[in-house]
Amino acid sequence: MKKVINEEGSRPIKIWTDEVEDSALTQLKNIARLPFIAGNGVACMPDVHAGIGATVGTVIATDKAIVPAAVGVDIGCGMNAVRLSLKASDLPESLTSIRHQIERDVPLGAGGAHRDDRIPGIFADVGVRYMELTKKTPGIMNKNFMRQLGTLGSGNHFIELCVDEAQDVWVMLHSGSRGVGNLIGRYFIEKAKKRMEQYFISLPDGDLAYFPEDTDDFNDYVEAVNWAQDYALENRRVMMEAVIAALRRHIPIEFTITHEAVNCHHNYVERENHFGRNLWVTRKGAIRAREGDLGIIPGSMGQRSYIVRGKGNLESYCSCSHGAGRKMSRAAARRTFTVADLEAQTAGVECRKDDAVLDEIPGSYKDIDQVMENQRDLVEVVHVLKQVLCVKGA
């Protein structure tokens, strides 16, 4: 831990970095003043940056309340990584055909969806649960929810082929609950705001509107967010199957999955016991890192990524960062960098190198190695992965 901020009338803010932008610090102070934040305070991860209401890279534990904006709208967004029996030398010299195959087989982009409504058997019960949810809450109905299962999305979501320090090949991907999760998040954030207005509750930031426990709104949100988190897990599982199938079409030798590192969320809320109390722990841009937990901390398109093992640091609510974290906005990245910069910063990586993905340039992210150094008391490194192929949904 780098420092602790203690202010009168506020819970402590525990920070694992020396660099926190002013807007993010304001958000941290706002959320630390909420009356239901647990006494151990707010944990600020080393990849922290400003978000909507709550910073990305924040962990809070709340007593008898949940803040929907502290979970965010990309509910259940997270990572999946598997190690293959392949070595780097087994890969073809050019990875272009593999990238194009993945781009054909996995729908990409903000609205990307499969052409038909595929309902895998393992997902059938989750689909039934969603239909029950929409009967109670019609405002969260998204007719594309089945067609977007197994799709990547856009922005910082990605599919990568990586090589570790032993030259073992990994597949790693990053995505969440897609359009339906976004709809659920936005619906309940707005509903919470209306409840605050209805009961004349004043907040330091309107986006920190909350639901008190044991209310219908709270119960409806918890049920919906749990469903979206299950959907996100299944979305990543289906995508991973498609990517493995794409690899088999271009790699002639037989290979197997030798290890699944993790399939976990980094935008979610869950009931956990900390400091002898059952609390609602919200991780927005953070992953759980209990002692022995395996996790994934990705860098950007041209940086390294890490498979880590948690140390169970109680001051962080057993958490760590979810990635490098942005150091500039997408608009600022486009003003600062050129496509030539993108080409230079992704040298050696088979990926798109055009204007559509310029805002994802490595230079717009914090230094992943510094982020890792700042959280040595949260996790230990198990594997270091270097990207050799990256698929983005522009």
In the chain the domains, ranked by start, together with CATH numbers, are: 78-262+291-392 (3.90.1860.10)
- Give residue 216's region: left, alpha or beta (phi > 0; psi -120 to 50): alpha
What pLDDT was estimated at residue 121? 53
**Pair 46, 19: CB distance under 8 Å:** no
What stretches of the chain adopt beta strand conformation (E)? Answer: 3-5, 13-15, 42-49, 56-62, 65-66, 78-87, 158-163, 168-175, 211-212, 257-265, 267-274, 277-284, 286-288, 294-297, 304-310, 319-321, 379-392
The model's pLDDT over 242-290, given as tens digits with 9 standing for 90+, comes to 999 999 999 999 999 998 778 889 999 999 999 999 999 999 999 999 9
Cβ(63)–Cβ(38) under 8 Å? Answer: yes
What pLDDT sits at residue 12? 97
- At residue 298 the predicted structure's pLDDT band, cuts being 50, 70 and 90, is very high
Does the pLDDT of residue 374 top 90, yes or no?
A: yes
Query: Could you tell me which residues are annotated as the binding site?
Result: 74, 156-160, 174, 266-267, 298-301, 305, 322-325, 392
Q: Are 298 and 323 in contact (CB under 8 A)?
A: yes
Query: Using an 8 Å Cβ cutoff, are 117 and 147 in contact?
Result: yes
* pLDDT tops 80 at residue 307: yes
- Determine whether 250 is an active site residue: no
Least confident of 63-72, 294-303, 331-340: 294-303
| Structure confidence at residue 394 (pLDDT) | 75
Residue 127 is predicted with a pLDDT of: 85
Contact 24, 46 (CB under 8 A): no
CA 265 to chain CA centroid, Å, is 6
Once rounded to an integer, what is the mean pLDDT over residues 173-193?
97
CB 220 within 8 A of CB 138: no
Alpha helices in the chain (DSSP H): 22-32, 68-71, 96-105, 124-136, 178-198, 216-250, 330-336, 339-345, 368-374
Residue 272, both tokens: 């956990």
Q: Which residues are known binding-site members for Mn(2+)?
A: 74, 157, 174, 266
At 186-228, the pLDDT tens digits run 999 999 999 999 999 999 999 999 999 999 999 999 999 999 9
* pLDDT given for residue 300 in this prediction: 87
Position 122 scores a pLDDT of: 53
- pLDDT tens digit sequence for 82-123: 999 999 999 999 999 999 999 999 999 988 888 776 555 556
Cβ neighbours, 10 Å, residue 23: 12
Mean pLDDT of 329-335: 96
pLDDT score, position 39: 86
Does residue 142 register a pLDDT over 90?
A: yes
User: Are residues 15 and 27 in contact, defined by beta-carbon separation less than 8 angstroms?
Assistant: no
Confidence class of residue 125 from pLDDT cuts 50, 70 and 90? confident
Q: What would the pLDDT profile of 26-69 be if each residue is shown by its tens digit?
A: 999 999 999 999 989 999 999 999 998 899 999 999 999 999 99
CB atoms within 10 A of CB 196: 16
Percent of the chain with pLDDT over 70: 98
- Report whether pLDDT(302) > 80: no
* For residues 174-189, average pLDDT: 97
Q: Which of 100, 114, 259, 322 is catalytic?
A: 322
Annotated binding site for GMP: 156-160, 266-267, 298-301, 305, 322-325, 392
Cβ pair 57, 324 in contact under 8 A: no
Whole-angstrom distance, CA of residue 152 vs CA of residue 267 = 16
Would you state the pLDDT for residue 151? 95
pLDDT reported for residue 123: 63
